[in-house]
Amino acid sequence: MIGKRLKKAKESVDREKEYSLEEALKLLKEAPKSKFDETVDLAVNLGVDPRKSDQMVRGSVSLPNGTGKKVRVLVFAKGEKEKEALDAGAEFVGAEDLVEKVKGGWLDFDKAVATPDMMGTVGKIGKILGPRGLMPNPKTGTVTFDVGKAVAELKAGKVDYRVEKAGIVHAAVGKLSFTEEALFENAKTVMDAIIKAKPSSSKGRYIKRCTVSSTMGPGIRVDVAQLTK
């Protein structure tokens, strides 16, 4: 059963048309709102086979206008790096104590950072963190001795992207309360990063389809040709 608000929002969108990114975001902003500040999501269908290691597309990018979300950061570190992480604003900092806490089912954080010397210990909870996208990874800059910088970037709006089994990359690019300009800058920044991350082994059409949507809103197709100019 489709609610009246969503039905009205869908009626304002031509499901067969491909809009420019600016037009798509404008339509999202003009659609009937829900009672909370919805997240705006960018979904990009790629012409890659994620089952092949040389066609994996993943990375991280800092959004110029942030995510609009308070990010709770956990840091696995010891000694002076512990203080550095706390000074940078990390909510939780520790070593074996935090590993045990996570083993016990505690997951009240959004991002995790670890110093390289802690990865042997953190690896013990890889099966818990990995499926939730919380495992620190050097490719996304979350395994580093420069924990202060890593925490600051995550707090400022650094997001990770990774192609799923179906060949789709999802990335949150802000909130509906953002201006159209801010959403456009964030979305374009993510798109540019995905395009730059094209594997050399990828043949044929790389960006096959792109859609923007809000949490409770309809998906709006974006003109890929304009995005990749």
Q: What is the structure's pLDDT at 2?
A: 45
Q: In whole angstroms, what is the distance from residue 79 CA to residue 153 CA?
A: 22
Q: Taking residues 7-11, what's their average pLDDT?
A: 53
Q: In whole angstroms, what is the distance from residue 212 CA to residue 24 CA?
A: 7
Name which residue leads in pLDDT, 139 or 145: 145
Query: With bands split at pLDDT 50, 70 and 90, how would you rate the model's confidence at 3?
Result: low
Q: What is the structure's pLDDT at 133?
A: 86
Mean pLDDT for all residues in the chain: 89
Place of tokens 């409770």: 216
The gap between the terminal CA atoms of the chain, to the nearest Å, is 40
Query: With bands split at pLDDT 50, 70 and 90, how would you rate the model's confidence at 87?
Result: very high
Q: What is the structure's pLDDT at 112?
A: 95
Q: What is the structure's pLDDT at 229?
A: 66
Domains of the chain listed by start with CATH number: 4-66+159-227 (3.30.190.20), 73-156 (3.40.50.790)
Q: Read off the tokens for 98.
A: 């935090």
Q: In whole angstroms, what is the distance from residue 200 CA to residue 197 CA?
A: 9
- Mean pLDDT is highest, among 4-8, 30-34, 210-214, for 210-214
Q: What is the structure's pLDDT at 188?
A: 93
4 has pLDDT over 60: no
pLDDT (tens digit per residue) in 122-138: 999 999 999 988 999 99
pLDDT (tens digit per residue) in 90-126: 999 999 999 999 999 999 999 999 999 999 999 999 9
Q: What is the structure's pLDDT at 89?
A: 94
pLDDT (tens digit per residue) in 187-221: 999 999 999 999 988 888 899 999 999 988 888 99
Q: In whole angstroms, what is the distance from residue 224 CA to residue 229 CA?
A: 9
168 has pLDDT over 90: yes
Q: What is the structure's pLDDT at 1?
A: 39
For 36, 49, 106, 163, 169, the CA distances from 136, given in Å and listed in that order, are 30, 24, 17, 17, 19
